Amino acid sequence: MLAPTRTAPLVEVEDLRIEFRTEGGIVRAVNGVSFAIEPGKTLALIGESGCGKSVTSLAMLNLVRPPGRISGGAITVSIDGRRENIAAWKVQSERMRQFRGTSVAMIFQEPLTSFDPLFTVGDQIVEMLRAHRVGIDTKAARAAAVDMLRKVRLPHPETLVDRYPHQLSGGMRQRVMIAMALCCGPRLLIADEPTTALDVTTESQILDLLRQLQEEMGMAMLFVTHDLAVASEMADEIAVMYLGYIVEQGPATEVLNNPSHPYTQALLDSIPKIDDEPSGRLRAVRGMVPTPDEMPSGCPFRTRCDYFIPGVCDRRLPDLYPVSAGHAARCVLVDPQFQRPAQ
């Protein structure tokens, strides 16, 4: 029996490194991150604030600006049958400008600060369309903007197209942001915490909308979130980040049902359970995420880990050890060759 064939990845990130030059020295925000996303699939990047998720997503559009820079690695994307490393392109080049929006688009974390308050939402979608669609005039672009607002299920799009961002609710602004990101038909959508400031009902509607549009357009998605419940709904694969490293990676069902890194286990344990005692304390990951300029030696999670082994975890960075098919974790306890030192 032949093994099932895997689709060639739409995008491959290999050993991505991002650093920031500060007065106190070089801060390494992303350290050798690697992952791949297949067409039509969703990869969720999860972790606490300060773990490098948003910086990684910005690098996918070559939007890391000084004092930050991509210091190593490759971001390879399939473009018209060619494999191109966009990390090597000039940030302000014309082909980079055309790549953004048409091949890869992004839903930013806070739509109110991402829109220009001086222009209507329709004007801003029209500007996007005219910048990337050759030969489209203003009238046709406006009609396309109205049609896109209708696709994201906004009521009365013919009227709403002339509203300013401050005249819309948070959920409506998020839908307009999705419309703007998708109006040029990108093959990869990056969603950076797209439901952060929304109530649970609106959040559910936005997630349903993203799934529907992904299926209709056949696009891949990089979904950045700190919410494991959202990741379980949206993702085919999950990569757990901590202090710029991927500490666990694999199919979503595997990572959530068989978490093998202490950090992933701690994140899952911190979710309230329906059978918990009403008067009991909520469990939390102990300690705080260190700043990147205070990176611990050895395993980056060792200062907060309940399974810390002196003389082992503080000596070297663990490899990503295989747990099962396609599932790996960066912890010595997963290494089948590991032998605990004698006490």
Show the domains of the chain with their CATH numbers.
Answer: 11-103+186-245 (3.40.50.300)
What are the start-end ranges of the H helices in 138-292? 138-151, 157-160, 170-182, 200-217, 228-234, 252-257, 262-269
Block mean pLDDT (10 aa), the chain, length 343: 61 95 88 94 93 92 91 90 88 87 86 87 93 88 94 93 93 91 91 82 88 91 90 94 95 95 93 74 83 86 93 92 94 86 65
Kindly report the pTM of this predicted structure.
0.90
Q: What is the pLDDT of residue 18?
A: 96
Q: What is the pLDDT of residue 3?
A: 44
Q: What share of the chain is helix, strand, coil (3-state, %, to 5)?
A: 35, 25, 40
Ordered strands of the 327-329 beta sheet: 104-107, 188-192, 220-225, 42-46, 237-242, 245-251, 327-329, 321-324
Structure confidence by residue, pLDDT tens digits, 66-112: 899 999 999 999 877 789 999 988 888 888 888 888 889 999 877 77
Contacts of 190 (CB under 8 A, 6+ apart): 57, 60, 61, 104, 105, 106, 107, 221, 222, 224
Q: What is the pLDDT of residue 47?
A: 92
Q: What is the pLDDT of residue 6?
A: 59
Closest CA to 330 of 236, 270, 256, 260: 260
Structure confidence by residue, pLDDT tens digits, 296-318: 999 999 999 999 999 999 999 99
Say if CB 78 and CB 8 are below 8 A apart: yes
The dihedrals phi and psi of 154, each to the nearest 5 degrees, come to -90, 135
The dihedrals phi and psi of 267, each to the nearest 5 degrees, come to -65, -45
Q: What is the pLDDT of residue 343?
A: 60
- SS3 of 165, please? helix
Q: What is the pLDDT of residue 198?
A: 77
Q: What is the pLDDT of residue 342?
A: 64
Residue reference for tokens 């509203």: 163
